[in-house]
């Protein structure tokens, strides 16, 4: 997986929103990454954009 863009901004006292763009060869979708970010309770709005990139050599790590 490769992070290609990240924006985080405060939307309230101790509350944040973020937009994440990434490229991956994994079969994970945006919901998978949104779920992974749920450990951060301060993120109250998360947008994830996933681009799948077929890599003949192997997965992006």
Q: How many structural domains are present in the chain?
A: 1
Residue 41 is assigned to a structural domain of this protein:
yes
pLDDT of residue 20: 98
Taking only the tens place, the pLDDT of each residue in 5-58 is: 999 999 999 999 999 999 999 989 999 999 999 999 999 999 999 999 886 555
Q: Which domain holds residue 35?
A: 2-52
Element (H, E) at 31: helix 30-36
Tell whether 58 is covered by a domain: no
- Asked if 60 and 32 touch (Cβ cutoff 8 Å), the reply is no
Q: What is the pLDDT of residue 53?
A: 86
Q: Is 23 part of any domain?
A: yes
Structural domain contains residue 42:
yes
Q: For residue 16, is it within any domain? A: yes
| Domain-located, residue 32 | yes
């Amino acid at each position: 997986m490769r992070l290609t863009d990240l924006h985080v901004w405060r939307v309230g006292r101790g509350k944040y929103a973020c937009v994440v763009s990434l490229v991956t060869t994994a079969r994970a979708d945006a919901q998978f990454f949104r779920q992974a970010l749920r450990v951060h309770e301060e993120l109250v709005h998360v947008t994830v954009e996933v681009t799948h990139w077929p890599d003949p050599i192997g997965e992006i790590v």
